């Protein structure tokens, strides 16, 4: 099941998010608990415990990978359909041109180290930027990203922000956004996916030209996953 830090994190997540919550309540609860778990010393203890092999390294490795948008997704706590807690390691110079997208469920993110830039958008038929809209789903057998173009769209920028270490944000599932590492050093965020009523697809908008129909998701093996956690722990110690 895991060591003390893993069990404590599971308990906090369950207390905050289990139960019948509205989306607004879920967003608020997710932002509160992610800030508590994202405190640097607390997160370091959790990551170090996981790096030692506690918990479910095989299961977490299967759901950890380098995201197509340019950051590493390391699963820390798998709460099944209710919640998934991940560490995101953002690399400098990647992600600034990522696609505008939304998510399958409400989310919350806490900046542990570095700085993240984010933009919010909304559909606007009259102005804004021109983009191609895709529906993104997961392949049934491989969980690769499947992209189907659904036509042109126009989007309007509604907010631009920068989040430094110690700050957080939370978004409803349909919110269109994009984020990227905004420094010349790695950025670490703690990321929480929530909710049992997850959408079947997400919406992806790109102005950078056509997408391939499928993007391969390459999961980590256990040694690679544990090595990545160890490197993340060292990065947190040096912060």
Q: Where are the alpha helices (DSSP H) in 38-99?
A: 40-51, 57-62
pLDDT at site 124: 80
Kindly tell me if the per-residue pLDDT of 95 is higher than 60. Answer: no
Kindly tell me if the per-residue pLDDT of 215 is higher than 70. Answer: no
Instruction: Tokens for 227, please give them.
Output: 């090595």
Tell me if the pTM is above 0.75: yes
- At residue 124, the 3 state secondary structure works out as coil
Q: What confidence tens digit (pLDDT) does each residue in 34-76 have?
A: 999 999 999 999 999 999 999 999 999 999 988 766 689 999 9
Average pLDDT, the chain: 89
Confidence of residue 126 (pLDDT cuts 50, 70, 90): confident
CA angle at 87 for the pair 82 and 230, rounded to the nearest 5° = 130
pLDDT at site 81: 78
Q: Which helix (H) or strand (E) holds 226?
A: helix 222-237
């Amino acid at each position: 099941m895991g060591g003390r830090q893993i069990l404590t994190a599971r308990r906090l997540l369950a207390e905050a998010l289990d139960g019948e919550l509205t989306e607004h309540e879920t967003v608020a609860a997710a932002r509160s608990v992610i800030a508590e778990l994202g405190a640097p010393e607390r997160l370091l203890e959790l990551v170090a415990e996981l790096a030692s092999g506690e918990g479910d390294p095989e299961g977490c490795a299967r759901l950890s990978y380098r995201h197509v948008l340019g950051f590493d997704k390391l699963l820390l706590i798998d709460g099944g359909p209710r919640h998934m807690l991940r560490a995101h390691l953002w690399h400098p110079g990647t992600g600034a041109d990522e696609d505008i997208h939304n998510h399958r469920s409400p989310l919350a993110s806490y900046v542990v180290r570095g700085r993240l830039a984010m933009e919010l958008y909304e559909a606007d038929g009259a102005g804004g930027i021109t983009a191609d809209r895709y529906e993104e789903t997961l392949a049934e057998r491989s969980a690769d990203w499947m992209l189907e173009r659904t036509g042109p769209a126009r989007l309007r920028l509604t907010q631009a922000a920068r989040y430094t270490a110690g700050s957080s944000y939370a978004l409803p599932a349909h919110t269109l956004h994009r984020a990227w590492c905004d420094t010349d050093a790695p950025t670490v965020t703690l990321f929480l996916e929530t909710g049992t009523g997850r959408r079947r697809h997400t919406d992806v908008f790109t102005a950078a030209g056509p997408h391939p129909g499928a993007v391969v998701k390459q999961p980590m093996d256990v040694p690679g996953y544990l090595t990545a956690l160890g490197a993340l722990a060292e990065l947190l110690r040096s912060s």
